[in-house]
């Protein structure tokens, strides 16, 4: 930890690029920056990285959670309701609870999304999600 971050106020978090709790799901990877313990379950913040021509988690919805996605890198495609939208760096999406959504990378370059899950608690699902992807490996859309 850099010396200038050693005396941050209680509850503050500083992570270098790439730091956080990592979950590998083959061609999709997640890095959790903050969730239940750090935010008292108010929100979860994670990065989601997709290799070129790879699928995401599959279409799904959350009954009680809103989600925000911000494109960090590449041109991922996001499903919101019944519409797919390809978006570039800096694009912003807000997905209300109960809305079907998904994301994938149809491009030739790596894609990254910053995700806010509100309220928090999503990370507790990650071990089961990783296990599902280990048992059901995804193939790249070549």
Q: Per-residue pLDDT averaged across 45-61, rounded? A: 96
User: What's the confidence (pLDDT) of residue 1?
Assistant: 53
User: What's the confidence (pLDDT) of residue 7?
Assistant: 84
Q: Is residue 79 part of a domain?
A: yes
CATH number at residue 110: 2.60.120.10
Whether residue 44 is predicted with pLDDT greater than 70 in this model: the reply is: yes
User: How far is the C-alpha of 55 from the C-alpha of 7, rounded, in Å?
Assistant: 41
Q: Is residue 2 part of a domain?
A: no
User: How far is the C-alpha of 141 from the C-alpha of 50, rounded, in Å?
Assistant: 12
User: How far is the C-alpha of 55 from the C-alpha of 140, rounded, in Å?
Assistant: 7
Whether residue 5 is predicted with pLDDT greater than 80 in this model: the reply is: no
User: How far is the C-alpha of 29 from the C-alpha of 104, rounded, in Å?
Assistant: 12
User: What's the confidence (pLDDT) of residue 141?
Assistant: 53
Q: Is residue 6 part of a domain?
A: no
The domain total for the chain is 1
Q: What value does the mean pLDDT of the chain take?
A: 93
Please, what sign has the CA dihedral across residues 67, 70, 74, 77?
positive
Whether residue 6 is predicted with pLDDT greater than 80 in this model: the reply is: no
Q: Per-residue pLDDT averaged across 101-118, rounded? A: 98
User: What's the confidence (pLDDT) of residue 142?
Assistant: 46
Q: Is residue 3 part of a domain?
A: no
* Beta strands, E only, the chain: 21-25, 28-34, 44-50, 66-73, 77-80, 83-86, 92-95, 101-104, 111-118
Q: Is residue 15 part of a domain?
A: no
Q: How confident is the model at residue 80 (pLDDT cuts 50, 70, 90)?
A: very high
The DSSP bridge pattern shows strands 66-73 and 77-80 to be: unpaired
How far CA 132 is from CA of 4, 94, 113, 137, in Å, comes to: 41, 26, 21, 8
Q: Is residue 11 part of a domain?
A: no
* Residue span of the structural domain in which 58 resides: 20-135
Whether residue 93 is predicted with pLDDT greater than 80 in this model: the reply is: yes
Q: Is residue 130 part of a domain?
A: yes
26-35 residue pLDDT tens: 999 999 999 9
């Amino acid at each position: 930890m850099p010396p200038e971050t050693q005396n941050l106020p209680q509850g503050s978090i500083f992570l270098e690029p790439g730091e956080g709790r990592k979950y590998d799901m083959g061609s999709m990877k997640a890095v959790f920056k903050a969730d239940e313990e750090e935010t008292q379950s108010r929100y979860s913040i994670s990065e989601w990285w997709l290799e070129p021509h790879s699928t995401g988690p599959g279409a799904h919805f959350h009954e009680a959670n809103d989600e925000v996605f911000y494109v960090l890198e590449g041109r991922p495609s996001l499903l919101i309701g019944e519409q797919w939208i390809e978006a570039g760096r800096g694009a912003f999406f807000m997905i209300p609870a109960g809305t079907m959504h998904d994301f994938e990378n149809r491009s030739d370059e790596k894609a990254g999304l910053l995700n806010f899950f509100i309220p928090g608690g999503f990370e507790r699902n990650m071990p089961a999600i990783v296990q599902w992807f280990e048992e059901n490996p995804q193939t790249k859309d070549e």
